Amino acid sequence: MVDPQEVGITSTRRRRVAGLRREELARLAKISVPYYTRLEQGKHTTASHAVLESLATALRLPPADRAYLHQLAEAGGAAGAPRVPETPVGPETLRLLDALDRVPGILLGPNMDILAVNPAARSFCQATTPEPVGLNAIRWQLFDPRARELFGDDWAAVTAELIGMLRLQAGRAPGHPAITRLVDELDRSSEFFRRVWAEHKVSVGIRRELRMRRPDGTATEMTVETLSVNFARDQTVLLFVPAVSADG
């Protein structure tokens, strides 16, 4: 949320809610208030790239949120039923995962279902999740106590990032039945999910250092790299790369 004072806006009027007023945002984006109002109310189904960029700049959106804004606009202006990607897991993607024999790798589908894991990930997860393929990563994070044990203090951040990734996929494929079902389910069953989902934050992936603890008590420092599959935009690879120790 943009603080009005940060963008040079001062007002003596009392604000009922935090953030910019409609007319202030329109002025910062250099568009008319009536036009912005029609956009906000959905009375304009399309907006130009320049207008979207002006709004994103005015709102100080980070790159992932800026891309999400454009995706929503494209989806809203598309005619007919929304496109629902149903990309099968390619053998090339599986070979890539297997080739990374020392780096645990997980392939996620559009609704964060675990589609595949490589032997390194299977070995690392064996004690907490004997068979991860077929599980939903967000559901597991929210409801399996082993997820909190595995990620410790990083649990909330990792779970929020996964929910942000789901939000990004929902923008790419509005109306995707698997995403819709999952969101409806988790909205009813998880207060944490409801709160994070209501923030409308998107994420292109988890990219942070983690301290992951196995059930036997051993801890491993990891960094996470997120890769997009070029020929399957609805699939994402998470790589958990062991951190380099100080002694090399």
Structure confidence at residue 113 (pLDDT): 94
Nearest alpha-carbon partner for 169 in 133, 189, 194, 197: 197
105 and 214 fall within a common domain: yes
Question: For residues 88 and 167, which has the higher predicted lDDT (pLDDT)?
Answer: 167
Q: What is the pTM of this model?
A: 0.69
Average pLDDT over residues 15-39: 70
pLDDT band at residue 22 using 50, 70 and 90 as cut-offs: confident
Whether the per-residue pLDDT at 164 is higher than 60: the answer is yes
Helix runs in the chain, H state only: 22-29, 33-40, 49-58, 63-77, 91-99, 119-125, 137-143, 145-151, 155-172, 177-189, 191-198
154 and 211 both lie in a single domain = yes
Give the confidence band of 160 by pLDDT, cuts at 50, 70, 90: very high
Number of domains in the chain: 2
Q: Cα–Cα distance between 4 and 233 in angstroms, integer?
A: 37
Q: Is 129 helix (H, G, I), strand (E, B) or coil?
A: coil
Residue 127 lies in a domain: yes
Are 150 and 47 in the same domain?
Answer: no
**Do 98 and 210 fall into the same domain?**
yes
**Structural domain contains residue 172:** yes
- Cα–Cα distance, 236 to 207 (Å, whole number): 13
234, 162: one domain: yes
Beta bridge partners of 108: 114, 236
Q: What is the pLDDT of residues 45-68, one digit of tens each?
A: 566 667 777 777 777 777 666 766
CA angle at 101 for the pair 97 and 102, rounded to the nearest 5°: 120
Q: What is the chain's mean pLDDT, rounded?
A: 78
Is 86 a domain residue? Answer: no
Angle at which helices 63-77 and 155-172 cross, to 10° = 30
The Cα–Cα gap between 28 and 56 comes to 10
Question: Domain residues for 8?
Answer: 4-60
Report the range out of 36-45, 186-195, 217-226 with the highest average pLDDT.
186-195
Asked if pLDDT for residue 15 goes beyond 80, the answer is no
pLDDT band at 118 (very low <50, low <70, confident <90, very high): very high
